[in-house]
Structure 1
Amino acid sequence: MFSKTCEYAIRGMIYIAQHTRNGGRVGFKQIATGIDAPEHFIAKILQELSRKGLVASMKGPAGGFYLEKASLNLSLADIVTAVDGDQLFLGCGLGLKQCSETNPCPIHFKFKKVRKEVQAMLEHAKLGAFIDKLDRNETFLKRSDFFMNN
């Protein structure tokens, strides 16, 4: 459903939210390891998210990426839109450019309903809401060794 870039962006932003809520900063290598992503790829993604104002960064020995308090209210929809645009919320399920209400593809009306449900779910999913669940190990961002070996 999401591009690989968007998947890493979402996971990276959740990781940053969890690890910087008390004023710390995390480097891209730590983030990449923490979410099981390629370092060079996550560095480029975070640079773009920083340029778009979704994540903050500071250079230097005590530098790294972090979120401002207000950024904990960012929704997953905000991240998806920043990375992949709004095609997930507006595009045709079959990828047809000419699909519309007056010129629908075979799945147009059913897919429209699914798009709206996905959009609502992502808009209500706020970064800050994931922190406690991660701390309680109710959710995860990286597969554990158990899953990798089985």
Structure 2
Amino acid sequence: MFSKTCEYAIRALIYIAQKSKDGSRIGIKEIALGIDSPEYFIAKILQELSRKGFVQSAKGPTGGFFMDGSNLKLSIADIVREIDGDKLFSGCGLGLKECSESHPCPIHNEFKHIRQAIKTMLEESRIQLFVEDLDLKLTFLKK
């Protein structure tokens, strides 16, 4: 459903939010280990997300990534739109360019309900909620 880049971005942001809530800064090696991702790949993703304000970073010996309170309010939909664009929320289920209400593909009418349900779920899913579930050990980020 998500690109690999988007999957890593979501997992990394949730991980950073959980690990930095006490004011800590988290390094790339720890993030990569914590979410089971390639270090070079997650570094590139986080550099871009930092530039766009999804996560903060600091350089130096005590540097690393961290999140502030406003970032905890980000929805998973915000992250998906930034990384993968809006296709998940508006695209055709069969990948057709011409699909629309007036010119529907064979699965259009059923798929638009599924697409809307996914959009609603991801818009209501905030990073803070995932951090709370991780703290309670209700969910996990790594196999």
Q: Does the alignment reach a TM-score above 0.5? A: yes
SS in 2 for 1:11: helix
Runs of 4+ in 1 over 6 A off after TM superposition: none
Residues paired across the two proteins, number: 143
CA deviations 1:67-120 (Å, max 9, x no partner) are 111110000001101110110001111111111111111111111111100000
Q: Do residues 52 (structure 1) and 47 (structure 2) align?
A: no
Using structure 1 for the length normalisation, give the TM-score.
Answer: 0.93
2:96 maps to 96
For residue 9 of structure 1, report the CA deviation from its aligned partner: 0.5
Q: Do residues 116 (structure 1) and 112 (structure 2) align?
A: no
Using structure 2 for the length normalisation, give the TM-score.
Answer: 0.97
Q: Structure 2: 5+ residue runs without aligned partners?
A: none
1:81 maps to 81
SS in 1 for 2:105: coil
List aligned pairs for 1:26-41, cutoff 5 A.
26-41=26-41
Separation (CA, whole Å) in 2 of partners of 1:11 and 1:39: 13
For residue 133 of structure 1, report the CA deviation from its aligned partner: 1.5
- Identical aligned residues as a percent: 62
Q: CA contact under 8 A between 1:77 and 1:119: conserved in structure 2?
A: yes
SS in 2 for 1:57: strand
1:6 maps to 6
Alpha-carbon RMSD: 0.8
1:64 maps to 64
1:107 maps to 107
